[in-house]
Amino acid sequence: MRLEEAEIEAALAAVSSGWLTMGPRIQALEAAAAERLGVRHALAVSSGTAALHLACVAAGLGEGSIAVVSSLAGPEAAFAPRSSGAEAVAADLEAVLEPVADLLGAVTPATRVVIVSHPTGVAADAAGLRRACDTQGIVLIEDATDALGATLPDGRAAGSAGHLGCFSLADGRLGGVGEGGIVVTGDDALAARVKSLRSHAMTSVTWDRHRGHADSYDIVDIGFNFRMDEPRAALAMARLERVGALVEARRAAAQTIRAAAPADVTPAWPDALPAGAAPQAVALVAPDEARRDALARALTACGVAARSWPRMLHGSTPVAAEARARTVLVDLGAIEAAGLDARTVAHALRAA
Of 42, 58, 80, 133, the residue at the interface with another protein (CB under 8 A) is 80
Contact 159, 142 (CB under 8 A): yes
SS (H, E, C) 261-329: CCCCCEECCCCCCCCCCCCCEEEEECCCHHHHHHHHHHHHHHCCCCECCCCCCCCCCHHHHHHHHHEEE
Size of the site for another protein (CB under 8 A): 64
Which residues lie closer than 8 Å to 263 by C-beta, 6 or more apart? none
Hey, which residues between 114 and 173 contact another protein (CB under 8 A)? 170-172
* CB-based contact 148:243 (threshold 8 Å): yes
Binding mask 174-193 for another protein (x = CB under 8 A): --xxxx--------------
Pick the piece of the chain touching another protein (CB under 8 A) from 150-158, 209-217, 255-263, 340-348. Answer: 209-217
Asked if 7 is part of the footprint of another protein (rule: CB under 8 A), the reply reads yes
Closest approach of Cβ 204 to another protein, in Å? 11
Contact pick of 18, 264, 271, 316 for another protein (by CB under 8 A): 18
Q: Which long-range contacts (CB under 8 A, 24 or more apart) does 336-342 make?
A: 336/1, 336/2, 336/172, 337/1, 337/171, 337/172, 338/302, 338/303, 338/304, 340/302, 340/303, 340/304, 342/252, 342/253, 342/254, 342/256, 342/257
Which range in 31-39, 153-161, 197-205, 245-253 contacts another protein by CB under 8 A? 197-205
**314 is a contact residue toward another protein (CB under 8 A):** no
CA dist 346 and 336 (Å) reads 14
Dihedral of the alpha carbons of 250, 251, 253, 259, in degrees to the nearest 10: 160
Do 94 and 319 touch, CB atoms closer than 8 A?
yes
Shortest distance (Å) from residue 4 CB to another protein? 10
Position 218 contacts another protein (CB under 8 A): yes
Amino acid occupying residue 209? R
Is 241 an interacting residue with respect to another protein (CB under 8 A)?
no
Q: Which listed residue (108, 135, 216, 316) binds another protein by CB under 8 A?
A: 216
**32 touches another protein (CB under 8 A):** no
Q: Kindly state the smallest distance separating residue 8's Cβ from another protein, in Å.
A: 4
Interface pick for another protein out of 126, 229, 278, 352 (rule CB under 8 A): 229
Count, residues in the chain: 352
User: What minimum distance in Å lies between the beta carbon of 219 and another protein?
Assistant: 4
In angstroms, what is the minimal distance from the CB of 216 to another protein? 5
**8 near another protein (CB under 8 A):** yes
Considering the rule CB under 8 A, would residue 305 count as an interface residue with another protein? no
Which lies closer to another protein via its Cβ, residue 21 or residue 255?
21
Write the CB contacts of 343 (distance below 8 Å, at least 6 apart in sequence). 256
- Report CA Rg, the chain: 20
Tell me whether residue 30 or residue 269 sits nearer to another protein (CB atom): 30
Residue type, 77: A
Phi, psi torsion values for 328, nearest 5 degrees:
-120, 135
Rounded CA-CA distance 291/71 in Å is: 23
Question: CA-CA distance, 216 to 214, in Å (whole number)?
Answer: 6
- 246 lies in the site for another protein, by CB under 8 A: no
What is the rounded distance in angstroms from the CA atom of residue 320 to the CA atom of residue 6?
A: 42
Q: Is 76 in the site for another protein (CB under 8 A)?
A: yes
Q: Considering the rule CB under 8 A, would residue 236 count as an interface residue with another protein?
A: no
Q: Does 50 bind another protein (CB under 8 A)?
A: yes
269 interacts with another protein by CB under 8 A = no
Sites of contact with another protein (CB under 8 A) = 1-3, 7-8, 11-12, 15-21, 46-50, 53, 74-76, 78-80, 82-83, 170-172, 176-179, 200-202, 206, 209-213, 215-225, 227-232, 235, 310, 337
